[in-house]
Structure 1
Amino acid sequence: MDLFAPQPCDNLLPFDGIVNNLGIVLGDDEALYEQLLSELPWQSDRVTLFGKTHITTRQIVWMGDSETDGSLAYSYSGHSRAITPWHHSVFHVKRLVEHKLAEIGVEVCFNTCLLNYYPTGADGMGYHADDEPELGHQPIIASLSLGATRKFVLKHKKAQHKVELYLETGQLIVMRGDTQQYWKHTVTKTKSVQQGRISLTFRTLYP
């Protein structure tokens, strides 16, 4: 046992935000991965940068509370995503994640989840912050990983600081406080990973 291993309440950031690593929180993660991969309505993402729209091999599902008025539609990178009602397994994971956060004193009730599917290590996500106005001030964003282990990097927007994590299947992290204001994060690409990964990023969206 590593007596100096980070504890769930430890802040992984040196300043300007809070990131907690809650460790492995799921047991039967392989079955959940296969279920979500086969049952969810995955679609390629569209990202517009510098006026040019790109269609990604990374696929997404925007999921959450059913709203007939469309108030939980989510916009980023120049495009709006319509919401899909909760899949029962994702809703079960949501409740588990909320319980795990409550254990470290973070009380939250998420109403949405952005799921990303990375088919191989060649698929990644560039540096960005989840700082859209719909997420409110100091958003709490919990991310659960399934499938292949991938490198996750946080980089301060002004200072020369980086924090690197290798997220394993079943692992849960939470970003909160001023993290989105001062830090960007990325899932780096790699040629050494051929397996897929699904991330479930739970958040609270304000209409």
Structure 2
Amino acid sequence: MQHSLFHSDTKNLLPFQGETFLYPNFFTREKSDFYFQQLAETLAWKQEPIRMFGKLVMQPRLTALYGDPDRPYGYSGISMVPLDWTDDLVEMRKAIEEFTGVRFTHVLCNLYRDGQDSMGWHRDNEAVLGKNPSIASMTFGATRMFQLRHYETKGNKIDIPLTHGSLLMMTGESQHQWEHQIPKTKKNLGPRINLTFRKLL
């Protein structure tokens, strides 16, 4: 059964060509505090090199991939083999799937250690994700600004503060028509953990 995600009472944050929805308090503060501590301590965080403009550079954040076995996921010139789902990730995936009606096979985890860790403009449009992928993005920890802009025009820029326990759902044409980033900031921020649930075909 589909829940409220695609109902008319939920505001689409994109003006055209795609759908993006924000649920600021998807998990309670208490539950979010618990998940943040668990994820920080138990996930297999590491810093991976990616290819940018023909050069290998270290990503300005730590990452970990979990998911269904024997289904690697690649982006920006790297291929990651998923680790087995942890109990906490399974619990979160179940809650998000029940709410959205979308099935997920993998979760790419990102740890932004401070305001200098970032993610540049990109689209999650790899062929293995299918034509119009749905990406569920969970945030725990420090609030970071999530920015969207139209891919072709570089206009219609949208700033969305992603807070502790919030769920951002991107679906429809959003990954083809819009790109997004987490910019650096000079603010003295603590760490942020971001989980991006996705379905590999």
TM over 0.5: yes
**Structure 2, gaps ≥5 residues long:** 1-7
TM norm structure 2: 0.92
**Structure 1, gaps ≥5 residues long:** 1-6, 102-106
Indicate conservation of the 8 Å contact 2:73/2:81, yes or no: yes
2:5 aligns with: none
Q: How does 1:48-127 map to 2 (within 5 A)?
A: 48-65=51-68, 67=69, 70=70, 72-101=71-100, 107-127=101-121
Query: Identical aligned pairs, as a percentage?
Result: 35
Q: How many pairs align?
A: 191
2:134 aligns with: 140
Aligned equivalents of 1:178 and 1:199: distance in 2? 22
CA RMSD of aligned residues (A): 1.2
Indicate conservation of the 8 Å contact 2:48/2:63, yes or no: yes
Aligned equivalents of 1:113 and 1:75: distance in 2? 13
* Equivalent position SS for 2:110: strand
* Equivalent position SS for 2:38: helix
Aligned with 1:174 (options 169, 173, 179): 169
Indicate conservation of the 8 Å contact 1:8/1:21, yes or no: no
Q: CA deviation at 1:193?
A: 3.3
Which is richer in strand? Answer: 1
C-alpha distance after superposition, 1:102-128 (max 9, x if no partner) = xxxxx2110110000000011010000
Q: Give runs of ≥4 in structure 1 deviating > 4 Å.
A: none
2:3 aligns with: none
Q: Is 1:191–2:192 an aligned residue pair?
A: no
Aligned equivalents of 2:140 and 2:194: distance in 1? 6
Indicate conservation of the 8 Å contact 1:124/1:188, yes or no: yes
